[in-house]
Amino acid sequence: MQHLFNFKTLATITLLLGGVGLSASAQDQKAFQGMEHLFTLPKGYVVQHTAQPLTMDGNLRESAWQQAAWTTDFVDIEGSAKPLPTYQTRVKMLWNDSTLFIAATLQEPHIWAYQTHHDDIIYKDNDFEVFIDPDDNTHQYFEVEVNAINKIFDLFLPKPYRNHGDALISWDVAGLRSGVSINGTLNQPKDQDKSWTVEMAIPLKAVRMGFPFNAPTEGTLWRINFSRVEWDTRAANGNYVKQQDAAGKDLPEHNWVWSPQGVINMHYPERWGYLQFTRQAKAPAFELPTSELRRRYLWLVYYRQQQYREKNGRYAASLAELNIAPQVDVAGKSNQLALLATPEQFTAILAAPGTATLRINDEGLVETVK
């Protein structure tokens, strides 16, 4: 399937495959109808550079940590459709030329942890989770989980589970340093605790999987999100046990996140927040790049194609079948949207004069056409 087009060719293909679409203004009003939960704007955090050595003990005593900004409090993974979390969780970050530093404080009246080995399934406990996609393409991303006794579960995914990605659990964050401090007691149901704090240092090279490493420059953008798994528990024989329903099944966990996913699934990397690197002494306000707004229309094609295939057993052959207009307006500039498809595969392309062409395929891989 041919992927490289000039703008004139792309416009021709759009008209052939897309049919007569809605006007740009009408499309703006109707484009995301029925999928609004997947198109809320992700949150952004501008991470500041530091030269100060940081000790990974969970205490955050260093002046650099004191000056770093907290994120907004976590919300339910589905966003505003669900109530706010019972307990506060928030994160702050720093970086130097070799390392991304992450600190999180989790309010918790009952601190417990029973997973005691590296690469145990840590989310069986209450935990804190980090998800990183350095390339912002939804593939080749990383997950790190930690519980209140600083046991780590780290894994690499070549692509999301929805696209038949298999987690590489044997992968470890080479050089990871982490620490946890507890404001309370561990595994003691009879008393009330206050919080636990996790601190970790992730080497930037470790999230490249052997690909060439270049340190972030001013404005470099990564995708990142954080999740907190929280179980409903009760005390039994001096231990914490998970509450169960009438059938004896564990109640579902609570999933609280920094940037809402819109679905109960962390493995939608396109829904993660944005991490922007800066060396400026005063962090600039985060501004979402126009290129990210343009990508939303590629994701619209992707989601609609998944719905269409589930209903019809094949992918749609045209934008018209998906009820998507071939011309969309982004930040005041007209963009041409095209679809190339077979029953089993598709590629959607978005182009505008003087702007990089973007594309997405049926596996959700987003690329900039050079």
What residue ranges of the chain are covered by domains with CATH 2.60.40.1190?
A: 42-278
Query: Which tens digit of pLDDT belongs to each residue from 75-86?
Result: 999 999 999 999
- Is the per-residue pLDDT at 274 higher than 60? yes
Task: With CA atoms as reference, report the closest residue to 251 among 228, 233, 227, 229.
Answer: 233
Residues contacting residue 118 through CB under 8 Å, at least 6 positions apart: 151, 152, 153, 172
User: What average pLDDT does the chain have?
Assistant: 92
pLDDT band at 123 (very low <50, low <70, confident <90, very high): very high
Query: Which tens digit of pLDDT belongs to each residue from 138-169?
Result: 999 999 999 999 999 999 999 999 999 999 99
- Is the per-residue pLDDT at 341 higher than 80? yes
What are the tokens at 236?
């039994």
Query: Which tens digit of pLDDT belongs to each residue from 11-66?
Result: 333 333 333 333 334 544 578 999 999 999 999 999 999 999 999 999 999 999 99
Q: For 94-119, what is the mean pLDDT? A: 98
What are the tokens at 222?
């990564």
Q: For 300-326, what is the mean pLDDT? A: 98
Please give the distance of CA 105 from its chain centroid, rounded to a whole number: 19
What are the tokens at 69?
């900004």
Residue 29's pLDDT is 53
Residue 118's pLDDT is 98
Query: Which tens digit of pLDDT belongs to each residue from 230-260?
Result: 999 999 999 999 999 999 999 999 999 999 9
CATH number of the 42-278 domain? 2.60.40.1190
**Percentage of residues in the chain with pLDDT exceeding 90?**
89
Query: Which tens digit of pLDDT belongs to each residue from 170-228?
Result: 999 999 999 999 999 999 999 999 999 999 999 999 998 877 888 999 999 999 999 99
* Predicted TM-score of the model (pTM): 0.92
Please give the distance of CA 77 from its chain centroid, rounded to a whole number: 11
